[in-house]
Amino acid sequence: MASEGEFEVRTRDGCVLRGFRYGAERTGSQSASALCLHGFSADANSMRAVARALDRAGVRVVVPDMRGHGLSASDLGKGLRPERLARDMAEVCRALGLEDVFLVTQSFGGTVGLTLLQQAPSKLRIEALYAFAPNWFVRPRKWREVRGWLPGTAKLLWRLGRRSGFLGNPVRGRIDYESYAGRRDVDLPRMSEELRSLSWRVYALRFLALQRSRHRRTPDWQEISTLPVSIFAARRDTMVQNAELEGVSAQTGWSLDWVDCGHLGVATEQEHADAWVRALLSRRANAIDRPLGSEE
């Protein structure tokens, strides 16, 4: 199939969002489109292997670069919180004429996707959220643990700044993720490339904000347990604690499936993306509320 095309959408506040899509020209199908949301500091290319696998399964796919990432416009770090990014994704769907979608997310994209699901935007029906390695956790860390992670984080950010420049301006572009196949989750060359679309200053501030968020109040998992969510964990993840995802699954009753790769595996290696998409489509086909077979 591989009918890939680019799109461009201007949001109500004037931010230009770009991305690519598969299967936009397909007709005669009423099934939902997959809206793929990448992780923090990544871009649409990090979901390309997943998008190709979904496309081969006959699913229409939309993959935006989120605000400030990839080829989308930057606002120097403003509006990069999940609530704003989720509203952006609703605007993308509206502009592209998407009324029915299911969310396919990786890492921080899971938080954006969960926020979008909770926002329940009008004229957009979200069938379900399928989150790979989301950075969710059961309970907040104690503040005294700051002294445990802050020195290592500061050292990492300093090394990234030395490699990429502390004062550089954002550079619009996407990364060839497949060139990092087999690399570790924490990989300086890849992370140095990722931060360029944000700039080191914005990257550092948002990275620290994500770390600090672990000390704040967690979602009321039981309260939102009725939302249609499936979790997928990477067996060899070194960026997200799988025990936390097991805890979220236990509290909510959301399914938890495993993919034998690292945190970035589905972004860098097609075989891992294929494995995840097979598991995802199986979950979707067997969903109690809305079986896939009833639509396709």
pLDDT of residue 276: 98
Average pLDDT, the chain: 92
Alpha helices, DSSP H only, in the chain? Answer: 48-56, 82-95, 109-119, 146-164, 188-195, 200-213, 242-252, 265-268, 270-285
Q: Is 67 exposed, middle or buried (0-12, 13-18, 19+ CB in 10 A)?
A: buried
State what percent of residues in the chain have pLDDT above 90: 80
Most trustworthy range by pLDDT among 26-30, 61-65, 76-80: 61-65
Enumerate domains of the chain plus CATH numbers. Answer: 4-141+218-294 (3.40.50.1820), 143-210 (no CATH)
Which residue in 266, 223, 228, 232 sits closest to 102, CA to CA? 228
- According to DSSP, the β-strands at 100-106 and 125-132 are parallel
Sheet holding 16-22, edge to edge: 4-10, 16-22, 61-64, 33-37, 100-106, 125-132, 229-234, 255-259
Q: What angle do CA 24, 30, 35 make, to 5 degrees?
A: 50
pLDDT in tens, 201-252: 999 999 999 899 889 889 999 999 999 999 999 999 999 999 999 999 999 9
With beta carbons less than 8 A apart as the criterion, state whether 219 and 244 touch. Answer: no
Q: Look at residue 101 and tell me whether its pLDDT is greater than 60.
A: yes
pLDDT of residue 241: 94
Q: How many CA atoms lie within 13 A of 281 on its CB side?
A: 20
pLDDT in tens, 139-155: 999 999 999 999 999 99
**Helix 146-164 and helix 200-213, axial crossing angle in degrees, nearest 10:** 160
Q: 31: pLDDT confidence band, cut at 50, 70 and 90?
A: confident
Overall average pLDDT of the 1-29 stretch: 85
Overall average pLDDT of the 93-108 stretch: 96
The one-letter code for the residue type at 279 is A
Record the tokens describing residue 176, joined without a space: 């060839």
